[in-house]
Amino acid sequence: MRRLLTAVVLAASLVAPALAQQSTADPKNTIYLDTKDGRVTIRLRPDLAPRHVEQIKTLTKRGFYDGVPFHRVIDGFMAQTGDPTGTGMGKSDLPNIPAEFTKTPYKPGTVGMARSANPDSANSQFFICYEGCGPLTGQYTVVGEVVSGMDAVRKIKKGDRNANGTVENPDKIVRMQLAEDAR
């Protein structure tokens, strides 16, 4: 029994570092999103949404997301950011992107692009799912997934459910950078 326990502990010590490295295995497609409560590591999915991922990477390299508020946060649903005005109506100066919908299911930690009623209106806003995002599958573009730091995402200040998640004095992205550019 002792040998079995030792073997299990040894195997766990070998697997854990490998799992931790997976999050930055592709530094060109890994985002570090820093909040006041810690770092969120997002693995981008260019295999699902190459144009959307490229837009996020371009804006990240510009520093566009630094200081941008989480303007809409609904407990049990999602946290939305990417609007520099904090109103839900703002976007970047880059053109909107045509939809890249897939059947990839929305689940906790999925990162999707926000848009208006027009499917081809995604620009800079994105959201991170808590729970309850399943019905968005096939209707919003999946751009990535949180691989570590969901605890920090869950600490983002929540908005008023009666006001569609609008947040007063919202938490902000402290800094967002590609892993390949991280300092």
pTM value is 0.86
Q: For the beta carbon of residue 119, count every other beta carbon within 10 angstroms.
A: 14
CA distance 56 to 52: 6
Cα 163 from chain centroid?
23
Please choose, from the candidates 104, 98, 120, 112, the residue with its C-alpha nearest in 3D space to the C-alpha of residue 141. Answer: 112
Written as tens digits, the pLDDT of the chain (183 aa) is 455 444 444 444 444 444 444 445 899 999 999 999 999 999 999 999 999 999 999 999 999 999 999 999 999 999 999 999 999 999 999 999 999 999 999 999 999 999 999 999 999 999 999 998 999 999 999 999 999 999 999 999 999 989 999 999 999 999 999 999 997
Given a contact cutoff of 8 angstroms between Cβ atoms, the answer to whether 174 and 132 are in contact is no
CA distance 36 to 38: 6
Pair of tokens at residue 163: 């006001």
Task: Calculate the alpha carbon distances from 69 to 84, 98, 107, 118, 137 in Å.
Answer: 7, 25, 23, 23, 25
Place of tokens 């766990």: 12
Pair of tokens at residue 21: 């490295």
